[in-house]
Homo-oligomer: A and B are copies of this chain.
Amino acid sequence: MPDYANLEFLFHPNSIALAGITVTNPEHWTRTFLDSLLEFRFERPLYLVNPKGGEIKGLKVYQSLADVPNTIDYVISLVPARVAPGLVEECAGKGVKAIHFCTAGFSETGEEEGIKLEAKVAELGRKKGIRIVGPNCMGVYCPESRISFQSNFPKERGTVGFISQSGGNAVDIVNQVMWRGIRFSKVISYGNACDLNESDFLEYFTADPNTKAIAMYIEGTKDGRRFRQTLQKAASKKPVILLKGGVTESGARAVAGHTGALAGSEAVWDSLCRQLGVIRVDSLEEMGDILVTLLFLPMPKGRRMALIGGGGGASVLITDEFEKKGLKVPSLPQEIRERIREFTPAAGNILRNPIDYSQTMIEPGKLARTVGIISNWDGIDFLMGFMRPTLAAASIRGRMAEMIDEMLEGSRQGSKQIGLVIEPSTLAQEAKEIFPIIQKCVSLGLSVYYSFAGAASAISLVLSHYERHPSAPRIYRVH
Protein backbone atom coordinates (compact mmCIF):
# COMPACT_ATOMS: atom_id res chain seq x y z
CA MET A 1 0.00 0.00 0.00
CA PRO A 2 1.63 3.28 -1.04
CA ASP A 3 2.20 6.04 1.46
CA TYR A 4 -0.24 8.90 0.78
CA ALA A 5 2.67 11.27 0.14
CA ASN A 6 3.43 9.34 -3.00
CA LEU A 7 0.48 11.03 -4.69
CA GLU A 8 2.02 14.49 -4.49
CA PHE A 9 3.51 13.82 -7.93
CA LEU A 10 -0.01 13.65 -9.32
CA PHE A 11 -1.11 16.99 -7.95
CA HIS A 12 2.22 18.80 -8.24
CA PRO A 13 4.01 17.40 -11.28
CA ASN A 14 7.19 19.11 -12.49
CA SER A 15 6.15 18.68 -16.11
CA ILE A 16 3.18 17.48 -18.14
CA ALA A 17 2.94 15.91 -21.59
CA LEU A 18 -0.30 15.73 -23.54
CA ALA A 19 0.06 12.54 -25.59
CA GLY A 20 -2.26 12.18 -28.57
CA ILE A 21 -3.53 15.73 -28.76
CA THR A 22 -5.22 16.53 -32.08
CA VAL A 23 -3.19 18.98 -34.12
CA THR A 24 -5.61 19.93 -36.88
CA ASN A 25 -9.01 20.39 -35.24
CA PRO A 26 -9.11 23.03 -32.47
CA GLU A 27 -12.67 21.94 -31.54
CA HIS A 28 -11.62 18.33 -30.85
CA TRP A 29 -12.24 17.11 -27.29
CA THR A 30 -8.55 16.33 -26.79
CA ARG A 31 -7.91 20.07 -26.87
CA THR A 32 -9.86 20.58 -23.61
CA PHE A 33 -6.79 19.76 -21.53
CA LEU A 34 -4.43 22.09 -23.39
CA ASP A 35 -6.99 24.90 -23.32
CA SER A 36 -7.45 24.42 -19.58
CA LEU A 37 -3.74 24.30 -18.79
CA LEU A 38 -3.12 27.45 -20.84
CA GLU A 39 -6.08 29.22 -19.26
CA PHE A 40 -4.71 28.28 -15.82
CA ARG A 41 -1.17 29.36 -16.87
CA PHE A 42 0.47 26.11 -15.87
CA GLU A 43 3.99 27.34 -15.11
CA ARG A 44 6.11 24.26 -15.61
CA PRO A 45 7.18 22.55 -18.84
CA LEU A 46 4.25 21.41 -20.97
CA TYR A 47 4.88 19.11 -23.93
CA LEU A 48 2.50 18.24 -26.76
CA VAL A 49 2.90 14.93 -28.55
CA ASN A 50 1.37 13.62 -31.78
CA PRO A 51 3.04 11.49 -34.47
CA LYS A 52 2.02 14.12 -37.03
CA GLY A 53 4.15 16.80 -35.34
CA GLY A 54 3.54 20.48 -36.12
CA GLU A 55 2.54 23.31 -33.79
CA ILE A 56 -0.46 24.29 -31.68
CA LYS A 57 -0.83 27.85 -30.39
CA GLY A 58 2.89 28.43 -30.79
CA LEU A 59 3.82 25.24 -28.92
CA LYS A 60 5.89 22.63 -30.72
CA VAL A 61 4.21 19.24 -31.17
CA TYR A 62 6.72 16.42 -30.66
CA GLN A 63 6.26 13.35 -32.81
CA SER A 64 6.91 11.02 -29.90
CA LEU A 65 7.54 11.12 -26.18
CA ALA A 66 11.11 10.06 -26.89
CA ASP A 67 11.64 13.29 -28.84
CA VAL A 68 10.87 15.41 -25.77
CA PRO A 69 14.27 16.76 -24.69
CA ASN A 70 13.71 16.26 -20.94
CA THR A 71 12.25 13.80 -18.52
CA ILE A 72 8.46 14.00 -18.02
CA ASP A 73 6.64 13.69 -14.70
CA TYR A 74 3.05 13.30 -15.73
CA VAL A 75 1.40 12.23 -18.97
CA ILE A 76 -2.19 12.94 -19.89
CA SER A 77 -3.00 10.30 -22.46
CA LEU A 78 -5.52 11.08 -25.17
CA VAL A 79 -4.58 8.14 -27.39
CA PRO A 80 -7.11 5.46 -28.40
CA ALA A 81 -7.43 2.46 -26.08
CA ARG A 82 -5.72 0.01 -28.45
CA VAL A 83 -2.40 1.90 -28.40
CA ALA A 84 -2.49 2.55 -24.63
CA PRO A 85 -0.11 -0.30 -23.68
CA GLY A 86 2.47 1.00 -26.15
CA LEU A 87 2.27 4.40 -24.51
CA VAL A 88 3.07 2.94 -21.10
CA GLU A 89 6.20 1.36 -22.59
CA GLU A 90 7.24 4.67 -24.12
CA CYS A 91 6.66 6.50 -20.83
CA ALA A 92 8.96 4.11 -19.00
CA GLY A 93 11.94 5.53 -20.88
CA LYS A 94 11.12 9.13 -19.89
CA GLY A 95 10.98 8.89 -16.10
CA VAL A 96 7.21 9.28 -16.07
CA LYS A 97 5.70 8.87 -12.59
CA ALA A 98 2.02 8.78 -13.57
CA ILE A 99 -0.19 8.50 -16.63
CA HIS A 100 -3.76 9.71 -16.69
CA PHE A 101 -5.65 7.75 -19.36
CA CYS A 102 -8.55 9.89 -20.43
CA THR A 103 -10.04 7.84 -23.27
CA ALA A 104 -12.67 5.16 -22.87
CA GLY A 105 -12.89 1.75 -24.52
CA PHE A 106 -11.52 -0.37 -21.69
CA SER A 107 -13.20 -2.63 -19.13
CA GLU A 108 -16.33 -0.48 -19.03
CA THR A 109 -17.27 -1.84 -22.49
CA GLY A 110 -17.81 -5.23 -20.88
CA GLU A 111 -16.03 -6.70 -23.90
CA GLU A 112 -13.03 -8.96 -23.88
CA GLU A 113 -10.76 -6.68 -25.86
CA GLY A 114 -11.30 -3.68 -23.59
CA ILE A 115 -10.96 -5.74 -20.43
CA LYS A 116 -7.67 -7.21 -21.67
CA LEU A 117 -6.31 -3.81 -22.70
CA GLU A 118 -7.02 -2.38 -19.28
CA ALA A 119 -5.39 -5.32 -17.51
CA LYS A 120 -2.35 -4.92 -19.76
CA VAL A 121 -2.05 -1.22 -19.01
CA ALA A 122 -2.30 -1.88 -15.26
CA GLU A 123 0.24 -4.67 -15.42
CA LEU A 124 2.72 -2.64 -17.47
CA GLY A 125 2.33 0.28 -15.09
CA ARG A 126 3.10 -1.91 -12.10
CA LYS A 127 6.10 -3.45 -13.87
CA LYS A 128 7.54 -0.08 -14.90
CA GLY A 129 6.72 1.70 -11.65
CA ILE A 130 4.27 4.09 -13.28
CA ARG A 131 0.99 4.86 -11.51
CA ILE A 132 -2.14 4.96 -13.61
CA VAL A 133 -5.15 7.28 -13.18
CA GLY A 134 -8.20 5.91 -14.97
CA PRO A 135 -8.70 4.95 -17.70
CA ASN A 136 -11.92 6.66 -18.81
CA CYS A 137 -11.82 9.80 -16.67
CA MET A 138 -10.90 13.50 -16.51
CA GLY A 139 -7.98 13.35 -14.09
CA VAL A 140 -6.71 16.20 -11.94
CA TYR A 141 -7.96 19.67 -11.04
CA CYS A 142 -5.59 21.32 -8.61
CA PRO A 143 -5.74 25.11 -8.65
CA GLU A 144 -2.64 25.60 -6.48
CA SER A 145 -0.51 23.89 -9.11
CA ARG A 146 -2.50 25.44 -11.98
CA ILE A 147 -3.81 22.18 -13.36
CA SER A 148 -7.37 21.86 -14.57
CA PHE A 149 -9.44 19.80 -16.97
CA GLN A 150 -11.96 22.60 -17.55
CA SER A 151 -11.11 26.15 -18.56
CA ASN A 152 -13.94 27.71 -16.57
CA PHE A 153 -13.12 26.19 -13.18
CA PRO A 154 -12.13 28.68 -10.44
CA LYS A 155 -8.45 29.49 -10.26
CA GLU A 156 -8.46 30.07 -6.50
CA ARG A 157 -7.62 27.27 -4.13
CA GLY A 158 -10.28 26.15 -1.67
CA THR A 159 -10.75 23.65 1.12
CA VAL A 160 -12.89 20.88 -0.35
CA GLY A 161 -11.37 17.75 -1.85
CA PHE A 162 -13.58 15.92 -4.33
CA ILE A 163 -12.98 12.33 -5.38
CA SER A 164 -15.18 11.37 -8.32
CA GLN A 165 -15.39 8.22 -10.32
CA SER A 166 -17.23 10.25 -13.01
CA GLY A 167 -15.74 13.17 -14.93
CA GLY A 168 -19.14 14.65 -15.76
CA ASN A 169 -20.28 14.57 -12.15
CA ALA A 170 -17.03 16.24 -11.09
CA VAL A 171 -17.62 19.04 -13.59
CA ASP A 172 -21.22 19.31 -12.43
CA ILE A 173 -20.38 19.70 -8.76
CA VAL A 174 -17.57 22.22 -9.31
CA ASN A 175 -19.76 24.31 -11.64
CA GLN A 176 -22.70 24.08 -9.32
CA VAL A 177 -21.05 25.16 -6.08
CA MET A 178 -18.51 27.65 -7.42
CA TRP A 179 -21.29 30.25 -7.53
CA ARG A 180 -22.13 29.51 -3.92
CA GLY A 181 -18.65 30.24 -2.62
CA ILE A 182 -17.14 26.76 -2.57
CA ARG A 183 -13.59 26.29 -3.79
CA PHE A 184 -11.60 23.09 -4.03
CA SER A 185 -8.20 22.02 -2.80
CA LYS A 186 -8.12 19.22 -5.37
CA VAL A 187 -10.52 17.26 -7.52
CA ILE A 188 -9.70 13.87 -8.96
CA SER A 189 -11.81 12.08 -11.56
CA TYR A 190 -10.50 8.51 -11.62
CA GLY A 191 -12.84 6.41 -13.81
CA ASN A 192 -12.18 2.67 -14.04
CA ALA A 193 -9.51 2.73 -11.30
CA CYS A 194 -7.30 0.05 -12.82
CA ASP A 195 -4.45 1.17 -10.54
CA LEU A 196 -4.95 4.20 -8.29
CA ASN A 197 -8.37 3.91 -6.69
CA GLU A 198 -10.86 5.49 -4.31
CA SER A 199 -8.92 4.31 -1.25
CA ASP A 200 -5.63 5.76 -2.49
CA PHE A 201 -7.20 9.16 -3.09
CA LEU A 202 -9.16 9.07 0.14
CA GLU A 203 -5.99 8.34 2.10
CA TYR A 204 -4.19 11.18 0.39
CA PHE A 205 -7.03 13.67 0.96
CA THR A 206 -7.31 12.59 4.60
CA ALA A 207 -3.67 13.51 5.15
CA ASP A 208 -3.61 16.56 2.87
CA PRO A 209 -3.48 19.66 5.11
CA ASN A 210 -5.15 21.83 2.45
CA THR A 211 -8.25 19.62 2.33
CA LYS A 212 -10.70 20.39 5.14
CA ALA A 213 -13.71 18.40 3.90
CA ILE A 214 -13.93 15.46 1.51
CA ALA A 215 -16.73 14.80 -0.96
CA MET A 216 -16.97 11.60 -3.00
CA TYR A 217 -18.93 10.33 -5.95
CA ILE A 218 -18.23 6.63 -6.06
CA GLU A 219 -19.70 3.85 -8.17
CA GLY A 220 -18.06 0.87 -6.55
CA THR A 221 -14.92 -0.51 -5.00
CA LYS A 222 -12.86 -3.57 -5.78
CA ASP A 223 -11.42 -3.79 -2.26
CA GLY A 224 -14.23 -3.25 0.21
CA ARG A 225 -12.13 -4.09 3.23
CA ARG A 226 -9.47 -1.50 2.53
CA PHE A 227 -12.05 1.09 1.54
CA ARG A 228 -13.90 0.60 4.80
CA GLN A 229 -10.73 1.15 6.82
CA THR A 230 -9.76 4.18 4.77
CA LEU A 231 -13.22 5.68 5.01
CA GLN A 232 -13.31 5.16 8.76
CA LYS A 233 -10.02 6.98 9.19
CA ALA A 234 -11.08 9.77 6.83
CA ALA A 235 -14.40 10.34 8.63
CA SER A 236 -12.61 10.51 11.96
CA LYS A 237 -10.43 13.37 10.71
CA LYS A 238 -12.63 15.40 8.34
CA PRO A 239 -16.28 15.63 7.32
CA VAL A 240 -16.86 13.14 4.49
CA ILE A 241 -19.86 13.39 2.15
CA LEU A 242 -20.59 10.43 -0.06
CA LEU A 243 -22.84 10.01 -3.09
CA LYS A 244 -23.07 6.38 -4.14
CA GLY A 245 -24.01 5.85 -7.79
CA GLY A 246 -25.65 2.59 -8.78
CA VAL A 247 -27.77 1.87 -5.72
CA THR A 248 -30.59 0.30 -7.73
CA GLU A 249 -30.52 -2.80 -9.90
CA SER A 250 -30.42 -0.94 -13.20
CA GLY A 251 -28.26 1.78 -11.68
CA ALA A 252 -25.71 -0.94 -10.94
CA ARG A 253 -25.94 -2.04 -14.59
CA ALA A 254 -25.34 1.56 -15.63
CA VAL A 255 -22.28 1.57 -13.39
CA ALA A 256 -20.98 -1.54 -15.14
CA GLY A 257 -21.30 0.31 -18.45
CA HIS A 258 -19.74 3.46 -17.09
CA THR A 259 -16.68 2.51 -15.04
CA GLY A 260 -16.97 -1.27 -14.91
CA ALA A 261 -17.18 -1.14 -11.12
CA LEU A 262 -19.10 -3.61 -8.97
CA ALA A 263 -21.76 -1.48 -7.39
CA GLY A 264 -22.53 -3.40 -4.19
CA SER A 265 -25.85 -3.40 -2.37
CA GLU A 266 -27.70 -0.37 -1.11
CA ALA A 267 -27.97 -1.82 2.39
CA VAL A 268 -24.21 -2.34 2.67
CA TRP A 269 -23.43 1.23 1.67
CA ASP A 270 -26.12 2.64 3.90
CA SER A 271 -24.96 0.86 7.04
CA LEU A 272 -21.33 1.61 6.20
CA CYS A 273 -22.03 5.35 6.12
CA ARG A 274 -24.15 5.31 9.26
CA GLN A 275 -21.59 3.38 11.25
CA LEU A 276 -18.61 5.42 10.17
CA GLY A 277 -20.25 8.83 10.45
CA VAL A 278 -20.15 9.58 6.74
CA ILE A 279 -22.77 12.04 5.45
CA ARG A 280 -24.57 10.16 2.70
CA VAL A 281 -26.41 12.14 0.02
CA ASP A 282 -28.74 11.08 -2.79
CA SER A 283 -27.90 13.56 -5.54
CA LEU A 284 -25.34 16.09 -6.69
CA GLU A 285 -27.75 18.89 -5.77
CA GLU A 286 -27.89 17.57 -2.22
CA MET A 287 -24.10 17.29 -2.15
CA GLY A 288 -23.89 20.98 -3.08
CA ASP A 289 -26.35 21.94 -0.35
CA ILE A 290 -24.44 19.92 2.24
CA LEU A 291 -21.12 21.51 1.31
CA VAL A 292 -22.66 24.97 1.59
CA THR A 293 -24.09 24.08 5.00
CA LEU A 294 -20.85 22.61 6.35
CA LEU A 295 -18.76 25.55 5.20
CA PHE A 296 -21.05 28.54 5.69
CA LEU A 297 -23.63 27.57 8.30
CA PRO A 298 -21.40 25.40 10.40
CA MET A 299 -22.54 25.66 13.97
CA PRO A 300 -26.22 25.95 14.87
CA LYS A 301 -26.55 24.55 18.40
CA GLY A 302 -29.95 23.07 17.74
CA ARG A 303 -33.00 22.77 15.54
CA ARG A 304 -34.94 25.89 16.56
CA MET A 305 -35.04 28.55 13.89
CA ALA A 306 -36.58 31.84 12.91
CA LEU A 307 -37.80 32.24 9.33
CA ILE A 308 -37.82 35.74 7.84
CA GLY A 309 -38.80 36.45 4.28
CA GLY A 310 -41.27 37.69 1.75
CA GLY A 311 -44.72 36.40 0.92
CA GLY A 312 -47.52 34.77 2.87
CA GLY A 313 -47.79 31.64 0.75
CA ALA A 314 -44.01 31.29 0.68
CA SER A 315 -43.91 31.58 4.49
CA VAL A 316 -46.34 28.72 4.83
CA LEU A 317 -44.50 26.46 2.41
CA ILE A 318 -41.00 27.03 3.78
CA THR A 319 -42.24 26.48 7.34
CA ASP A 320 -43.77 23.17 6.27
CA GLU A 321 -40.56 22.12 4.52
CA PHE A 322 -38.42 22.76 7.60
CA GLU A 323 -40.79 21.20 10.12
CA LYS A 324 -41.29 18.13 7.92
CA LYS A 325 -37.52 17.66 8.23
CA GLY A 326 -37.63 17.92 12.01
CA LEU A 327 -36.62 21.56 12.41
CA LYS A 328 -38.60 23.73 14.83
CA VAL A 329 -40.07 27.15 14.05
CA PRO A 330 -41.20 28.32 17.50
CA SER A 331 -43.74 31.09 17.93
CA LEU A 332 -42.19 34.38 19.02
CA PRO A 333 -43.30 35.32 22.53
CA GLN A 334 -45.67 38.25 23.06
CA GLU A 335 -42.88 40.36 24.55
CA ILE A 336 -40.71 40.10 21.43
CA ARG A 337 -43.66 40.88 19.14
CA GLU A 338 -44.49 43.96 21.21
CA ARG A 339 -40.96 45.27 20.85
CA ILE A 340 -41.10 44.90 17.05
CA ARG A 341 -44.50 46.54 16.86
CA GLU A 342 -43.13 49.63 18.58
CA PHE A 343 -41.45 50.69 15.36
CA THR A 344 -43.24 48.79 12.56
CA PRO A 345 -46.83 48.67 11.33
CA ALA A 346 -46.75 44.87 11.41
CA ALA A 347 -49.93 43.27 12.63
CA GLY A 348 -50.01 40.44 15.15
CA ASN A 349 -50.01 37.10 13.38
CA ILE A 350 -47.43 38.05 10.80
CA LEU A 351 -44.86 38.39 13.58
CA ARG A 352 -45.25 35.00 15.17
CA ASN A 353 -42.51 33.20 13.15
CA PRO A 354 -42.30 32.87 10.22
CA ILE A 355 -41.95 36.62 9.90
CA ASP A 356 -43.10 38.39 6.73
CA TYR A 357 -40.46 41.07 6.20
CA SER A 358 -42.59 43.13 3.85
CA GLN A 359 -44.06 44.54 7.06
CA THR A 360 -40.74 45.43 8.61
CA MET A 361 -38.50 46.72 5.85
CA ILE A 362 -40.35 49.80 4.76
CA GLU A 363 -37.79 52.22 6.14
CA PRO A 364 -34.04 51.60 6.15
CA GLY A 365 -32.83 50.08 9.41
CA LYS A 366 -36.12 48.54 10.48
CA LEU A 367 -35.38 45.12 9.11
CA ALA A 368 -31.99 45.06 10.88
CA ARG A 369 -33.69 46.11 14.09
CA THR A 370 -36.39 43.44 13.72
CA VAL A 371 -33.90 40.68 12.98
CA GLY A 372 -31.69 41.95 15.82
CA ILE A 373 -34.51 41.57 18.35
CA ILE A 374 -35.36 38.09 17.11
CA SER A 375 -31.73 37.06 16.95
CA ASN A 376 -31.28 38.03 20.60
CA TRP A 377 -34.12 35.75 21.68
CA ASP A 378 -32.70 32.58 23.17
CA GLY A 379 -35.62 30.52 21.90
CA ILE A 380 -33.92 30.03 18.54
CA ASP A 381 -30.61 28.56 17.42
CA PHE A 382 -30.29 30.15 13.98
CA LEU A 383 -32.09 32.21 11.36
CA MET A 384 -33.06 31.60 7.79
CA GLY A 385 -34.04 34.32 5.36
CA PHE A 386 -35.97 33.58 2.18
CA MET A 387 -36.53 35.53 -1.00
CA ARG A 388 -38.34 34.78 -4.22
CA PRO A 389 -36.95 37.61 -6.31
CA THR A 390 -39.04 36.88 -9.41
CA LEU A 391 -42.21 37.30 -7.35
CA ALA A 392 -41.19 40.30 -5.29
CA ALA A 393 -42.75 43.71 -5.85
CA ALA A 394 -40.46 46.21 -7.56
CA SER A 395 -40.12 48.11 -4.26
CA ILE A 396 -38.65 45.03 -2.59
CA ARG A 397 -36.63 43.84 -5.57
CA GLY A 398 -34.80 47.14 -5.73
CA ARG A 399 -33.82 46.87 -2.08
CA MET A 400 -32.75 43.24 -1.86
CA ALA A 401 -29.05 43.94 -1.52
CA GLU A 402 -29.67 46.33 1.39
CA MET A 403 -32.13 43.91 2.93
CA ILE A 404 -29.50 41.19 2.92
CA ASP A 405 -27.09 43.57 4.67
CA GLU A 406 -29.76 44.37 7.23
CA MET A 407 -30.57 40.73 7.89
CA LEU A 408 -26.90 39.91 8.35
CA GLU A 409 -26.42 42.91 10.63
CA GLY A 410 -29.44 41.91 12.71
CA SER A 411 -28.35 38.30 13.02
CA ARG A 412 -24.94 39.40 14.31
CA GLN A 413 -26.53 41.47 17.06
CA GLY A 414 -27.65 38.21 18.63
CA SER A 415 -24.60 36.22 17.50
CA LYS A 416 -26.85 33.90 15.55
CA GLN A 417 -25.96 32.48 12.17
CA ILE A 418 -28.20 33.16 9.22
CA GLY A 419 -28.67 31.26 5.98
CA LEU A 420 -30.63 32.37 2.93
CA VAL A 421 -32.89 30.73 0.40
CA ILE A 422 -32.91 32.75 -2.81
CA GLU A 423 -34.86 31.20 -5.66
CA PRO A 424 -32.85 31.73 -8.83
CA SER A 425 -34.31 32.00 -12.31
CA THR A 426 -33.49 30.01 -15.41
CA LEU A 427 -34.61 32.84 -17.71
CA ALA A 428 -31.65 34.83 -19.00
CA GLN A 429 -33.27 38.19 -18.31
CA GLU A 430 -34.20 37.37 -14.72
CA ALA A 431 -30.95 35.52 -14.05
CA LYS A 432 -29.09 38.71 -14.90
CA GLU A 433 -30.86 40.50 -12.06
CA ILE A 434 -30.92 37.73 -9.47
CA PHE A 435 -27.47 36.30 -9.95
CA PRO A 436 -25.64 39.38 -8.59
CA ILE A 437 -27.82 39.22 -5.46
CA ILE A 438 -26.75 35.63 -4.90
CA GLN A 439 -23.11 36.62 -5.50
CA LYS A 440 -23.44 39.38 -2.95
CA CYS A 441 -24.57 36.87 -0.31
CA VAL A 442 -21.73 34.56 -1.23
CA SER A 443 -19.21 37.38 -0.90
CA LEU A 444 -20.56 38.02 2.61
CA GLY A 445 -19.84 34.38 3.50
CA LEU A 446 -23.50 33.41 3.70
CA SER A 447 -24.88 29.98 2.92
CA VAL A 448 -27.20 30.30 -0.07
CA TYR A 449 -29.77 27.66 -1.03
CA TYR A 450 -31.87 27.60 -4.18
CA SER A 451 -35.02 25.96 -2.85
CA PHE A 452 -36.97 25.62 0.38
CA ALA A 453 -36.79 21.83 0.24
CA GLY A 454 -33.06 21.79 -0.53
CA ALA A 455 -32.24 24.04 2.42
CA ALA A 456 -34.44 22.10 4.83
CA SER A 457 -33.08 18.75 3.75
CA ALA A 458 -29.39 19.73 3.92
CA ILE A 459 -29.58 21.56 7.23
CA SER A 460 -31.51 18.73 8.81
CA LEU A 461 -29.05 16.15 7.48
CA VAL A 462 -26.05 18.03 8.88
CA LEU A 463 -27.76 18.50 12.25
CA SER A 464 -28.67 14.80 12.38
CA HIS A 465 -25.10 13.87 11.53
CA TYR A 466 -23.71 15.78 14.50
CA GLU A 467 -26.52 14.63 16.79
CA ARG A 468 -25.64 11.00 16.01
CA HIS A 469 -21.89 11.61 16.02
CA PRO A 470 -21.31 14.49 18.46
CA SER A 471 -17.53 14.22 18.21
CA ALA A 472 -17.47 14.02 14.42
CA PRO A 473 -15.01 16.48 12.88
CA ARG A 474 -16.32 19.92 11.96
CA ILE A 475 -15.24 22.41 9.38
CA TYR A 476 -15.33 26.12 10.04
CA ARG A 477 -15.24 29.16 7.82
CA VAL A 478 -11.84 28.49 6.33
CA HIS A 479 -12.44 28.84 2.59
Contact = CB atoms under 8 A, between A and B. Distances in A.
Interface of A: 27, 29, 32, 105, 108-111, 114, 136, 164-169, 171-172, 175, 179, 217, 219, 245-251, 253-260, 282-285, 311-317, 319-324, 328-331, 347-354, 356, 388, 390-391, 393-395, 424-429, 431-432, 434-435, 438, 450-453
B313 A217 contact: yes
B317 A284 contact: yes
B166 A251 contact: no
B426 A166 contact: no
A426 B428 contact: no
A450 B428 contact: no
A153 to B, nearest CB: 13
A250 B329 contact: yes
B171 A391 contact: yes
8 contacts: A32-B393, A165-B313, A166-B314, A245-B320, A248-B323, A253-B329, A258-B313, A427-B431
Given A110-B349, A394-B27, A319 B248 contact: yes
A253 B331 contact: yes
Given A172-B313, A285-B451, 6 more contacts: A32-B393, A172-B390, A175-B390, A245-B313, A254-B315, A426-B426
Given A250-B328, A331-B253, A391 B172 contact: yes
A283 B121 CA distance: 51
A427 to B, nearest CB: 6
A214 to B, nearest CB: 18
A221 to B, nearest CB: 15
Given A169-B313, A283-B453, A247 B324 contact: yes
Contact of A316 (B166, B167, B323): B166
Given A390-B175, A453-B283, A316 B255 contact: yes
Contact of A250 (B246, B330, B450): B330
A83 to B, nearest CB: 16
A250 B331 contact: yes
A220 to B, nearest CB: 10
A388 B175 CA distance: 12
Contacts of A435: 426-428
B316 A258 contact: yes
Contact of A311 (B168, B282, B319, B351): B168
A311 B285 CA distance: 17
Contacts of A108: 312, 347, 349-350
B388 A168 contact: yes
A254 B354 contact: yes
A253 to B, nearest CB: 6
Contacts of A427: 179, 431, 435
A71 to B, nearest CB: 32
A248 B324 contact: yes
Given A167-B313, A245-B313, A435-B427, A348 B250 contact: no
A163 to B, nearest CB: 13
A27 B395 CA distance: 8
Contacts of A434: 426
A38 to B, nearest CB: 17
Nearest to A113: B347
Contacts of A354: 250, 254, 257
A168 to B, nearest CB: 4
Contacts of A348: 109-111, 257
Contacts of A27: 394-395
A255 B312 CA distance: 8
Contacts of A424: 426
A316 B283 contact: no
A250 B323 contact: yes
Contacts of A29: 393, 395
A165 B317 CA distance: 12
Which of A164, A250, A256, A432 has the most CB atoms of chain B within a 10 A radius of its CB?
Answer: A250
A450 B171 CA distance: 18
A109 B350 contact: yes
Nearest to A28: B395
Contacts of A284: 317
A445 to B, nearest CB: 20
Nearest to A31: B394
A320 B251 contact: yes
Contacts of A349: 108-111, 256-257, 260
A402 B287 CA distance: 33
